[in-house]
Amino acid sequence: MSTRIKQAIPVTPDVPRHIAIIMDGNGRWAKRRFMPRFAGHRKGVEALRGVIRACAERGVTHLTVFAFSSENWRRPQEEVTLLMELFLRALENEVAKLHENGIRFRVIGDLSGFSDRIQTLIREAEALTRDNGRLTFTVAANYGGRWDLVQAVKKLVASGEPVSEAALAEHLSLADAPEPDLFIRTGGEQRISNFLLWQLAYTELYFTDALWPDFDAAALDAAIASYRTRERRFGRTSEQLLTAS
């Protein structure tokens, strides 16, 4: 086996570098408790706070969460309005805490759909935390995987570069991050719902029936434990992995 191939086979680390999460089940969590759906979203913010902390403590370097998809605008107007208010309050109240803990914050998606106030807070938060290196926490908001591919193609065509996989990847929203090692979806659904379509090509998928507000550090550890059992071959055989090691 050539040296080049040996170097190209990644070793599965004990802890994934990059975890991507669809935080599903907030509304159902609230409904089961005879509470308004928005109460589930508020509880979901608390769960996210704990997961960010747990990822940083376990050595995860990138955490990307799907907070609001480009399709979520179709939800009832009252719920969308409350979600925007929750996003605004989170930006006002949580960013300073992230900064104190050495966490970089960023948002990917079509930000033009948000209010001027939200856009300003996003820019300020990204600027404040830009140099933090403990964990990069990315929120996908008004984001869709197809939108990401289209905007990347437009940028590539405008640049005049020759079209290739590598050139296209450089224009995607997460171009400066490693591709996710582990994808988690809570809430019992088993699909990726237009999230990071390009980046999840070789990601290990983990689905759990736990609703997002109930997802805690122990649930994260269970997902990571499942990840550790996976053999990440990237198109190669088990024998090639053994030879490379």
- Residues annotated catalytic, as ranges: 24, 72
Tokens representing residue 157 in the block: 């065509």
Q: Which of 41, 38, 39, 65 is nearest to 51 (CA)?
A: 65
Give burial (CB, 10 Å; 0-12/13-18/19+) of 165: exposed
In which element (H, E) is residue 183 found? strand 182-185
Q: What is residue 144's three-state secondary structure?
A: coil
Tokens representing residue 175 in the block: 């171009």
Give burial (CB, 10 Å; 0-12/13-18/19+) of 46: exposed
